Amino acid sequence: MRRIFIYDTTLRDGAQTEGISYSLQDKINIAKRLDDFGIDFIEPGWPYSNSKDKQVFDYFKKHHLKKSKLVPFGSTAHPSGPAYKDKNLISLIKSDTEYVTIFGKTWNLHVKEVLKISLEDNLKIIFESIKFLKKKGKKVFYDAEHFFDGYKANPAYALKTLKAAQEAGGELIIFCDTNGGTLPQGVKRTVMEVKEKLSLDNFGIHCHNDLGLATANSLILLEDGCIQVQGTVNGYGERCGNVDLISIIAILQSKMGYNIVSSQKIEELTHLSHFVSEISNMAHRDNSPFVGRSAFAHKGGVHIDAVIKNPLAYEHVFPSLVGNKRRFVVSELAGKSTLVAKAKELKFDLDKRSSQAKKLYNLLQKLEKDGYQFEAAEGSFKLLLEKEFKRYKKFFDLLGFRVIIEKREDNKLISEATIKLKINNKLEHTASLGDGPVNALDNALRKALRNFYPTLSEMYLTDFKVRVLDEKSGTAAKVRVLIQSQDEKENWSTIGVSENIIEASWQALVDSVEYKLLKDLKKSESVAIK
């Protein structure tokens, strides 16, 4: 089969996502992880546009990657001067890489209204820019920016821009759907026409996701000469993002038979996706294909029963193939089979026909009626099982707490929580300030427990969500609080429900802390036995 090369532009195109701002070390760390995974080409940035991107290339001149090839990104020469004096092109040469990528204008609208030059001058700029880089020993990937819009508006001129790149010695032409507005049939029809007219055997594709079709638009060309797919991890990018390379790699390898990375590395795909989202400080999408937390989650009772008998009934690939795992979600839609399967997943042996299963099932039904939703709070659900199976240990008793919110003359809001606990028959009475009442309560609880359970310092809260369950009740409505917590090894979610938001938050906080303490206790007991 034809070799398909993966070209990652997370650190350049992906960095244009709203909310993402990579530091120099972030870029270095992500590039190293992509290299370890086996990505063919990594585009760390545009060295002429900012000093940070230049520093990335300077770093890797001394610390070479194992497999991946770094590719600096830039534009064709500025119309105001010759290519050999263009600082942008010179910066690409100074990056000291085998390959460079430059983009040029293929749409007459951009030539006339953005560059404000003649169509002929644009052709000259494309040719001379690539020719200059070739003379300096560079292999040039030419990104035909806005190609599909340009070809639709003026096919003859769009073809001339590609001919200019070809004649100058461009290594590979990349068709770019920069606005992301082309349908799959349009992508295929256009490229087939261009291939025939230019005798083009190999090419690349770079799709944006404004129609939600970037993956389809990329894959549709793989049987017609496409040898390079450009995109980003998790589909990051400006507006609606780029094609998601995580999905592309998984589909190519698991569905189409291409050998993109080794069988060992493909199992790291889920970890890679989460690694990049963590460094990008972006919440990982639960419903991401292949690698999302919900990608192999089953909620309906009929589905779960079938998957237990044969996973192929409702799974298109085995989760382990991409490093993910199957999950059974406990909810009001599921029956006792789901409960038993979920208990087994969490290492609890529950017989479907037992009175214990019936009792637990009835309890769950009641709690869900009250507003609890354990599909989003597996930490609380596991604690529920611990208590039912008599494995639960109480780590402290609450004797009382008080939360005060004070608005002062300088308009500052002060939140203070006071808490009284009994721990190992010892009284602990502490107070703490916080950014809000829940944060103050969290700080006070940790402060009270710190000397007794020092491992709590490893744990921190990563998310806090509040949902009103009955909007018609207004401010007296029952609320559901979900808290996500994390330590060095894992993350977990806990839940609380009450008409009082502080009480609901307290319930979720206590579950979160107890989950951590119980986990650490079992770990120490396991080590002691060994």
Kindly name the residue from 110, 146, 298, 303 that is annotated as catalytic: 303
Residues with Cβ < 8 Å from 355, sequence gap 6 or more? none
Cβ count within 10 A of residue 69: 17
DSSP 487: -
Single-letter amino acid code for the residue at 405:
I
Please give the backbone phi and psi of residue 178, each rounded to the nearest 5 degrees, phi first: -65, -35
Are residues 476 and 499 in contact, defined by beta-carbon separation less than 8 angstroms? yes
Q: Classify each residue of 225-264 as buried b or exposed e, where b means 16 or more C-beta atoms within 10 Å of its C-beta.
A: ebbbbbbbbbbbbbeebbbbbbbbbbbbbbeeeeebbeee
Angle at 432 between CA 428 and CA 438, to 5 degrees: 105
d(CA 230, CA 232): 7
Residues with Cβ < 8 Å from 428, sequence gap 6 or more? 420, 421, 422, 448, 449, 452
Residues with Cβ < 8 Å from 489, sequence gap 6 or more? none
Taking alpha carbons only, the member of 174, 223, 229, 231 closest to residue 203 is 174
Taking alpha carbons only, the member of 358, 369, 330, 335 closest to residue 346 is 330
Reported as type and span, the H/E element at residue 426 is: strand 426-434
DSSP 177: E
The CA-atom distances, in angstroms, between 243 and each of 148, 215, 517 are 16, 6, 42
Specify whether 303 is catalytic.
yes
Catalytically annotated residues: 303
